[in-house]
Amino acid sequence: MEKIKVGFIGLGNMGGGMSMNIAKSGYDMVVHDINRAAATNLLELGAEWADTPKELAESVDVIFTSLPGPTEVKSVSTGVDGLIEGVSSGSIWIDLSTSSPTLIRELSEEFEKQGASVLDAPVSGGVKGAQTGKLAIMVGGSESVFNQIKSILESFGDKVSYTGSIGSGSICKLMHNTIGYGMQMIISECLTLGVKAGVDPGNLFECIKNGSVGRGNLLNVTLPDTYLQGKFDPPNFALKLARKDVSLALELGREYNVPMEAASHAYNELTSAVNRGWENKDSRISLLLQEERAGNIEVRLGQSS
């Protein structure tokens, strides 16, 4: 494509920032939202307005959507006056929404019948990241199509990753978010116990941030060096010692009447691993138990499951 014309649908908190960064990068734009007022800044920069997704699709080469979820994605794409009615051979639709991998795979098949390509490219980084162009973008679909539009993605994201076939971007985003919300649970347990046991909240939080957890060692060092390689000997930190630490925390929780549901689950996993005879292996060996429950799925760097 020589002069790419970009369409953008969904100009809310996330879409507003992303679309503005695309416009500021010099792309000609056509925009649409259920609230026309949300497009004011873009229209002032020279963007055109489309009354429907169909009308927008008819006038652009590349379409972005940033929508609340699967219901809206389906409505905008295949509903009345939807994108599918306006796309033509060579059109590219990139859905930035956090949505259903199954749905985007189904929609991709429908759009392919029209000669159009579909990518799923959910983002992470929040409203501030959308405004400043500091977003992680996880892109699934045809790699050649991804390479065609990568420069547009880089206009509003500083960490753009190709994840594989259609739907894989959405899977990565859902796994990312679920990890975050799970971490919030155990963090809240430990913060409430620590404060109830007598530690100042600021001091407690500072120690957590300054330690291995706060420095991000688990994702950046420990898991890549142990679990993701299937290497548990010699131990980085022995399973029996990890179980001892969590046991002491649970003992403290009982002393101060603080429920520790997530921590109790961690302790049970560590105990089950000890019962396998793994007490002198690296503590991350306990993660093999979940691999078994998932149907003997191996998660290893450089290997496919």
Superfamily classification of domain 5-171: NAD(P)-binding Rossmann-like Domain (3.40.50.720)
Segments of the chain assigned to CATH 3.40.50.720: 5-171
Q: Which helix (H) or strand (E) holds 180?
A: helix 168-196
Candidates 173, 209, 240, 244; catalytic one: 173
134 is catalytic: no
Q: Is the backbone peptide bond immediately before 224 cis, with ω within 30 degrees of 0?
A: no
**Residues 198-223, mean pLDDT to the nearest whole number:** 97
Mean of the per-residue pLDDT values for the chain?
97
Segments of the chain assigned to CATH 1.10.1040.10: 211-293
CA distance 231 to 236: 10
Please give the pLDDT value at position 271. Answer: 98
Judge whether residue 279 has pLDDT over 60: yes
Q: Report whether 246 contacts 267 (CB < 8 A).
A: yes
CA distance 4 to 34: 24
Please give the pLDDT value at position 303. Answer: 56
Residue among 108, 135, 111, 136 at smallest CA distance from 120: 108
Judge whether residue 278 has pLDDT over 80: yes
The CATH class of the 211-293 domain is: mainly alpha
What is the model's pTM?
0.94
Judge whether residue 19 has pLDDT over 90: yes
